[in-house]
Structure 1
Amino acid sequence: MFASQNCVKEIIMSLFNNDFLASIRKNFQSLNDEKELGGIKAIVEGFEAWSNKSDKRWLAYMLATAFHETNATMQPVKEAYWLSETWRKNHLSYYPYYGRGYVQLTHRENYQKAGDAIGVNLVDQLDRALEPDIAANVMFIGMDKGWFRGDNQGRHTLSRYFSATANDPVGARNIINGKETKIIHGQPVTVADMIAGYYTLFLEALGDGAQQVNTQTANLVASSTISPISKRFAEEAAILLPLAESLDLRSAMQTLLDKRAEKYPASHPRYWAIIDFDKKSDTRRLFIFDMEEGNISSYLCAHGEGSDPSNSGYATLFSNVDGSHMSSLGVYLCSETYFGSNGYSMRLDGLDESNSNARQRSIVIHPSNYVSDEFAAENHRVGRSYGCPAVDAQYSQSIIERLKLGSLLMAWKS
């Protein structure tokens, strides 16, 4: 565990102390390993070195912002970190000065300004913006000076939202971004409210929660839509595991839940998906689980021709190798959509060694005319793909719209 005996001696007079750590572990189930706590330590100690201010609300809000922006890893990230460097090069007009850090520092002039402010040559050493202490300093100064956003009343700064006369952790989201909304449990929830909830818990850990958190924000944290991660994990498992068990897929769903906890602990998608490759292809073996409604929908789904060389309808061979034309087992992140040769499609990113080449192999969900009830009835199987989980064109748009941009999908065989 991060707080070794040496660490305890070193941090005993710091805000990063044993009481703080105990509160963090109580309220944030995901913040437990050395790397995550190391990121928190860099932010806390950076704040102490950088600021002579005693207002812990500033620090709590920066911790909450970092928690959200880094997907709960508390490590500086690259813009679109779930995509490749090639994607960033091809899609970001300001490449290579794309976002890096706890908050996204973009464009050459901003790298220059930030580097000058902290005394580091960030223009020529871009990835130094990913070092926790440097990323923390950029966040501190940027949020203090209002680097990121402004309006007709001036720059959006920490002092504008946290001062002797202001206490507005919801409005403080304007420092970084505007009114983003996410769908959680089927309901629209503003990112500002989510971060205000995290802020409340960090402020509690710093010892000021009871004195300085307003009732409205405390109630937001207690609500089911933005309750802390540790509580929502149990709620989701209680819904999803019995649903999966009804299909004899409890182990597959548990694997999905474990992967989410490992990779994306701040993510709580409404829809989850499993492809059961134990089943023949003429049966509906792509299952989508709806957290809000507590139900399951099922669809036909193809496998790769290399996975079924005898065209029996059963996938028996699997590979992660480009050109194998085989399906790959493992957990996928459902990513962005596009219009390709097969129509409206959705890219998949493999999260396991068994499917890590999915994007390189162009393994995507797309519609196909060889996946339909009519084809299955006539041939006692559906057609085979080059490895993609192709679906019935009649349902493809509905499938993609539910899963895109954040759901997890498991390609499973027992």
Structure 2
Amino acid sequence: MTEQENKGGPLAGVRVLELGQLIAGPFCGQLLGDMGAEVVKIETPRGGDPMRAWGQGGQPTWWRVIARNKYSVAADLKTSEGQDLVRSLAAEADILIENFRPGTLERWALAPDDLLRINERLIIVRVSGYGQTGPYATRAGFGGIAEAMGGWRKIVGEPDRPPSRMGVSIGDTLAATYGCMGALAAMHEREKSGKGQIIDVALYESVLQVMEGLIPEWTVAGHKRHRTGSHLPGIAPSNVYRCKDGEYLIGANQDSVFTRLADAMGMPELAQDPRYADHVSRGRHQAELDELINAWTERFTVDELEALMIDHSVPAGRILDAEDMLKDPHFIAREAIVTVDDPVLGPIQMQGTFPKLSRTPGGIRRAAPREIGQDTEEIRKRWLDR
């Protein structure tokens, strides 16, 4: 069965109007679409969403993922005709997503308060760099800037080098995920009140939410987190270790797990050594413990080390790239990667839908739109013609 044959999903029947572009707004739409919502994406007739051109290779592929399960409707939101179309669609929608700079919708005569007067049940997800209020609200903001402001960039990388990038647009996707969560919570509340509301999502606050004890560590203990490279300070052993043919990640910081690792190393006495016998002591002697483990892991191939870790029930894992994932039996068994029949590229593999629901699973019902505005007339007929 191809992914497009998977019908329904827990949000089947929910209508979503996506006005955003690039990553934060569209990824929120992707999440809702993967769970079964019907997502209508508004694209400018001149060029469409810039994501159509993003990605590597002769045929950019990022669009194929972020625009799956969506219908493309062409509308110029700077014109009265485009604004009228959005107002008409918003009157029929459950959720509207936008990620423009605050004030843009208002300038286009599409202010949320006005849309709520048209459709009091409408839930409006507004994603922006700094939120809709506060002294920075009208500043231009991208995910990377939010990662810097929210504390992420400060602590990522090697201590003797400038802050590193995560490698993916984590600020954008975190904000999109929180926007999706807010929309689902608002839909639940709407069952009681009958009314929609506005979800104000700031990129920097989305990053801040996952910064663990960053704030209280400073306010209570006077400790500022800093860049520490591959290891987590005070949590040992938990690092990437060298093998004969690559690297391998081991996380054995809990006392009982460290005892099992020491047994696997043929050094059970390490678990009784005062330097390593408990969590605090191992954290205090983290560097020397990592050196000791590295000296041991270098004797093995990744395959050999993995077999030892599995045999001794030590949490550990390979560091995979896309090629590795496509061959991994666990990815295959759980259908973490699926094949979608794409109108441009033919069968294309991409990450599947997540999380997995037992009774009403999500799925990929439609490939990403090939042409800008290809579904305009279909959506007009189904949403607006009565």
TM value normalised by structure 1: 0.28
Tell me the TM-score normalised to structure 2 length. 0.29
- Answer with 1 or 2: which has the greater Rg: 2
